[in-house]
Structure 1
Amino acid sequence: MTTHSEEKIVVLVNGIPASGKSTLTRALAEQFGLPVLTLDGLKEPFMASFAPVDRQRNRQLGCAAYQAIWNVVAQAPTRCIYIIDAWFGFQPREVLQQGLQKANVTRVLELWLAITPDDAVTRYQSRLTDRMPGHPGAEYLPELRKLAETAQPMGLGPVLQLDARDPDEAAAFAWLQRQLRVPIAAQPALSASG
């Protein structure tokens, strides 16, 4: 039997671009004192080094950063809990499952930021001038709108859905605190089939 101290847990802060992942991630990290890995945090130094970056190169760097996240988690001790901020739906679900297996993750917790298409477009558009060159620009807005209509959480473990318009941080803190106290035997097992 696996004991609580032998667990390797990741907390996925998931949502489409402009859903508020970074803000929630910072609040969770401060509240719980947990380390954070972000897709943009790993990708953007390379974007700066290899500028100019087009959409194809941005995607390649995103895929490499995604793999780097699982390499870091794999090297961490089992008792280390990472908060991971990313739009996990940019890759097939199987890629996430492979990364979790590679990193020997035993439990996945997910906070999903649900956002309406209108809110996603408005937020993304308002941040265009603040984004590092190489991220998609205004041409991405129609694609983002369609994405907001269909995007779903990954659902590989317990999921807390939050309204991106006004995420209830207190509810997120309470939910995560409860989840972190649940022993692994009470959690559904991770499997390759989902």
Structure 2
Amino acid sequence: MRVTLDGCVIPGDHIPMDGPASLVVVTGRPATGKSALAAELRRREGWPVLEKDAIKEALVETLGAADPAASRRLSDASFRVLFALARTWPAGEGGALVLEGNFRPGEHEPALSEILRRRASRLVQVVLHAPRDALVERLRTRAAQPGRHPGHRDLETAEALLREEANGGPQPLALPGTLLVEDTSGLDARRLEAIAAAVAAAAAHRPWLV
């Protein structure tokens, strides 16, 4: 993929990387489009992706999660597995490793800092956000989809969002590196492509392409 000066995206022509490989952290609240962006980066750039929810689904299928407390414990375990995998993931030549999940500001910075140190990587943090009403609608739609994994507890998450007094806004992790904050209110294929282009440019250490 190449990003031209007028903002056009040309598929199939990858941006060459300068310097050490980047660690791309895609984060945000549930239903902000994290999985969709991670999948787009994997498709367009060929980058490996580690997804917290994929790990949690496997744990739920094996151990079960009868209540919110059990679900939270499995979320904690899923993050620990994700961090362990990221610490030992082979460093690609000129590529990036993508970590996707609803990372917790004030809690997950030490683990991510250790990953950056071990991999000698530069961080590109992508924080996705959207208005609360849009997130609630997406969560309810997901809950009604046939085959949706029950471990996600979408309706409970939607109700928790409705009980909040305010939307809260984007909450970046307190880590040094490049920060991209992206509104996904009207997330469609074109918008997803534009965000992926900005991430690829940032990961290539070419800020003038963002």
Report TM bin, short chain.
0.7 to 0.9
8 Å CA contact 2:25, 2:124 repeated in 1: yes
Distance between the aligned counterparts of 2:78 and 2:165, measured in 1?
Answer: 21
Q: Partner residue of 1:107?
A: 122
**Is 1:118 paired with 2:148?**
no
C-alpha change, 1:69 and 1:137, in structure 2 (3 Å) is: closer
Q: Of 17, 29, 34, which aligns to 1:16?
A: 29
Superposition pairs of residues 49-60 of structure 1, within 5 angstroms = 49-60=62-73
Q: Partner residue of 1:152?
A: 171
Distance between the aligned counterparts of 1:152 and 1:119, measured in 2?
Answer: 17
Q: Of 44, 66, 69, which aligns to 1:31?
A: 44
The root-mean-square deviation of aligned C-alpha atoms, in Å, is 2.4
Opposite residue 98 of structure 2, the aligned amino acid is I
Aligned length: 177
Q: Give, in angstroms, the shift of residue 147 of structure 1.
A: 8.7
Q: Give, in angstroms, the shift of residue 36 of structure 1.
A: 0.7
**Is 1:42 paired with 2:62?**
no
Q: Partner residue of 2:8?
A: none
Q: Give, in angstroms, the shift of residue 75 of structure 1.
A: 0.9
C-alpha change, 1:34 and 1:116, in structure 2 (3 Å) is: same
**Is 1:129 paired with 2:144?**
yes
Give CA-to-partner distance per residue, 1:102-151, whole Å, 9 cap, x none: 56243211222111010011111111134322332534323224397114
Q: Give, in angstroms, the shift of residue 38 of structure 1.
A: 0.5
Distance between the aligned counterparts of 1:50 and 1:59, measured in 2?
Answer: 13
SS of the equivalent of 1:134 reads: helix
Opposite residue 153 of structure 2, the aligned amino acid is P
Distance between the aligned counterparts of 1:101 and 1:34, measured in 2?
Answer: 21
C-alpha change, 1:163 and 1:137, in structure 2 (3 Å) is: closer
The share of aligned pairs that are identical, in percent, is 26
5+ residue gaps, structure 2: 1-17
Distance between the aligned counterparts of 1:164 and 1:18, measured in 2?
Answer: 10
Distance between the aligned counterparts of 2:77 and 2:106, measured in 1?
Answer: 16
Opposite residue 200 of structure 2, the aligned amino acid is Q
Opposite residue 129 of structure 1, the aligned amino acid is A
Distance between the aligned counterparts of 2:197 and 2:80, measured in 1?
Answer: 30
Opposite residue 32 of structure 1, the aligned amino acid is E
5+ residue gaps, structure 1: 184-194
Q: Partner residue of 1:74?
A: 87
Q: Give, in angstroms, the shift of residue 45 of structure 1.
A: 1.0
C-alpha change, 1:58 and 1:147, in structure 2 (3 Å) is: farther
8 Å CA contact 1:112, 1:160 repeated in 2: yes
Q: Partner residue of 1:186?
A: none
Distance between the aligned counterparts of 1:108 and 1:28, measured in 2?
Answer: 15
Opposite residue 161 of structure 2, the aligned amino acid is L
8 Å CA contact 1:110, 1:155 repeated in 2: no
**Is 1:140 paired with 2:192?**
no
Opposite residue 181 of structure 1, the aligned amino acid is A
Distance between the aligned counterparts of 2:87 and 2:150, measured in 1?
Answer: 31
